[in-house]
Amino acid sequence: MRVGQVGALIALGVAVGLGGCKQPVMEVRSAPSFDLSDLAGGRVSLAALKGKVVVLDFWATWCGPCLKEQADFAEFWRRNQGKGVEVIGVVFDSGEPQEIQDFVRENRIPYRQLLGDDKLQEAFQANQGFPTTFVIDGEGIIRTTILGSTPRKFEKLQQTVDAALAAR
């Protein structure tokens, strides 16, 4: 076999192997209900947010990609806060509430933060890593799920939010 044929076979093998590496397609489904503590000592439930488009971001203070996108989330929140959109962070595995509150203040995270737990993570099927972000429409349906901090994440979030707002 010639070198050119070997190279072509290797390229074909790589292409076939990579064909199966697609992001999992998440089905559109109802968001699990929740009632969680926020950092201000209050409580937030999904039922209380009915009618609003909710962007729910599961993250942790020790997660590098989560921290890197905080400025983008703050800008996204500013751009959408007057439109009936709630941007909410749900913090996991990041210490005591006071430590998290200090972190949020020091990093100037302007939108509401809730304290997440394993039960919530399991209910949302969000156990593949942080960050995991959901867009939930005004009827409580998860319209998109984004795992990780992808290059066009905020563009996709805005498109999904805009579509959910237009459907109201």
Q: What is the CATH number of domain 24-166?
A: 3.40.30.10
**Is the model's pLDDT at 85 over the cut of 80?**
yes
For residue range 90-107, list pLDDT tens digits in order: 999 999 999 999 999 999
Are 65 and 148 contacting, i.e. CB atoms less than 8 angstroms apart?
yes
- Supply the DSSP string of 118-162, one letter for each residue: HHHHHHTT--S-S-EEEEE-TTSEEEEEEES--TTHHHHHHHHHH
For residue range 19-50, list pLDDT tens digits in order: 333 344 455 789 999 999 999 899 999 999 99
Are 30 and 47 contacting, i.e. CB atoms less than 8 angstroms apart?
no
Domain edges within the chain: 24-166
For residue range 114-152, list pLDDT tens digits in order: 999 999 999 999 888 899 999 999 999 999 999 999 999
**Is the model's pLDDT at 15 over the cut of 90?**
no
Backbone angles phi, psi at 36, to 5 degrees: -125, 155
The residue among 145, 132, 143, 133 whose CA lies nearest residue 166 is 143
pTM of the entire predicted model = 0.82
CA distance 32 to 34: 6
pLDDT at 28: 72
> Nearest 5 degrees, angle CA 19-CA 68-CA 91?
95
96-102-107-108 Cα dihedral, nearest 10 degrees: 120
